[in-house]
Amino acid sequence: MAIKWLGKAVAVTTVMLLASTAAQAQFKLDSRFTDADGDLTADTPTDPAQQVDPDTLIFAYTPVEDPAVYAQVWDGFLKHMESVTGKRVQFFPVQSNAAQLEAMRAGRLHIAGFNTGSNPIAVACAGFKSFAMMASADDSFGYEMEIITYPDSGIEKVEDIKGSKMAFTSETSNSGFKAPSALLASEFSMKAGTDFEAVFSGKHDNSILGVANKDYPAAAIANSVLTRMVSRDVVKADQVKSIYKSQTFPTTGYGIVYNLKPELQEKIKEAFFSFPWEGSALKEEFAKSGESKFIPITFKEHWDVIRKIDDANGVSYDCQ
């Protein structure tokens, strides 16, 4: 599976405005999927023989710098899911977006939280069906892309990155690559390879640590990740400084692979929306970025702006 980056870019602010229109950016599922109901996600097979009902459900959270920490964070939630579904549920510590996508595509991953930029790829190529997202008590949700540097780096504004290195996470990441690439090209006339050297860290955690440790002069990151890392004392707030903050984007989308038995899909959804957050390790961790519950979402509605960013950037997906 590969992502084709064709380099066309427009301002993130323009794309956000486009998202308010009724028109949908072009989005196609892999040829092995159907979408009869028009929700832009793969239909569950109607033939029971093509539906799966595994004894053990595999869950993966989006790649992070230390997966072992998040295995503990999610442990209580997964035990709750075991109780609701009657299945054993196992945490799968993925090391990269590509590994997470390939695991679902190959049938080895049943439930996942895919980061903002990976959601369209997971939907198009792996049969991912998102239905939930974390939100604050008042139902507000999302995060911003920020460009950060470290104090005394000599970088005071975005234009100062010219002639230096800029760290991105991976080409599948919205805030770690797609949105900042559009922003830099359209608002600042800066392109990788011409005005600065692009390097890839693999994860937001790595980019943040790289800037804090002065390995990268600048990086594009999701500020929700930075907030949690500061709260955990992984980095100090004064080790980095922000020089740009975007508009708000949807955060990690949670969902299932398309071919699970319909009854099992409903039980998994029930587990998400009935989880008791109070006193949980999940709330302790994600309250650091203001999140305290799951809310229902749809890929068609909530990822409209992300699909338009992809479309405007000339991104297409080769699912082979």
Q: Regarding beta strands 293-296 and 128-135, do their DSSP bridges make them parallel or antiparallel, or are they unpaired?
A: antiparallel
Which pLDDT value is given to residue 97?
Answer: 87
pLDDT higher than threshold 70 for residue 27: yes
Does residue 198 sit in the same domain as residue 133? no
Does residue 83 sit in the same domain as residue 215? no
Final residue belonging to a domain, choices 225, 248, 271 = 248
Does residue 15 sit in the same domain as residue 116? yes
pLDDT bucket at 189, cuts 50 / 70 / 90:
very high
Q: What is the pLDDT of residues 79-100, one digit of tens each?
A: 999 999 999 999 999 988 899 9
Q: What is the pLDDT of residues 238-280, one digit of tens each?
A: 999 999 998 888 999 999 999 999 999 999 999 999 999 999 9
Which phi and psi (to 5°) does residue 143 adopt?
-150, 170
| pTM listed for this prediction | 0.76
State the distance between the two ends of the chain, measured CA to CA, in whole angstroms. Answer: 5
Does residue 219 sit in the same domain as residue 297? no
Place of tokens 């945490």: 91
Q: What is the CATH number of the domain that holds 81?
A: 3.40.190.10
pLDDT higher than threshold 90 for residue 193: yes
Mean pLDDT within 184-190: 89
Does residue 12 sit in the same domain as residue 71? yes
Across the beta sheet with 88-91, what order do the strands follow?
88-91, 56-60, 111-114, 253-257, 128-135, 293-296
pLDDT higher than threshold 70 for residue 16: no
Mean pLDDT within 196-225: 96
Closest to 84 measured CA to CA, from 298, 271, 235: 271
Does residue 244 sit in the same domain as residue 262? no
Closest to 26 measured CA to CA, from 319, 264, 315, 280: 315
Q: What is the pLDDT of residues 36-61, one digit of tens each?
A: 999 999 999 999 999 999 999 999 99
Does residue 89 sit in the same domain as residue 177? no
Final residue belonging to a domain, choices 205, 221, 248 = 248
Which pLDDT value is given to residue 240?
Answer: 98
Does residue 196 sit in the same domain as residue 293? no
Count Cβ atoms below 10 Å from residue 261 Cβ, excluding itself: 15
Does residue 156 sit in the same domain as residue 127? no
Does residue 264 sit in the same domain as residue 233? no
Domain total of the chain: 2
Which pLDDT value is given to residue 15?
Answer: 41
Which pLDDT value is given to residue 67?
Answer: 76
Does residue 119 sit in the same domain as residue 151? no
Does residue 161 sit in the same domain as residue 25? no
Residue 68 structural domain: 2-140+250-318
Beta-carbon contacts of residue 8 (< 8 Å; ≥ 6 apart): 312, 313, 314
CA–CA separation, 6 vs 317, rounded Å? 11
Average pLDDT of the chain is 89
Which pLDDT value is given to residue 22?
Answer: 32
Final residue belonging to a domain, choices 248, 270, 303 = 248
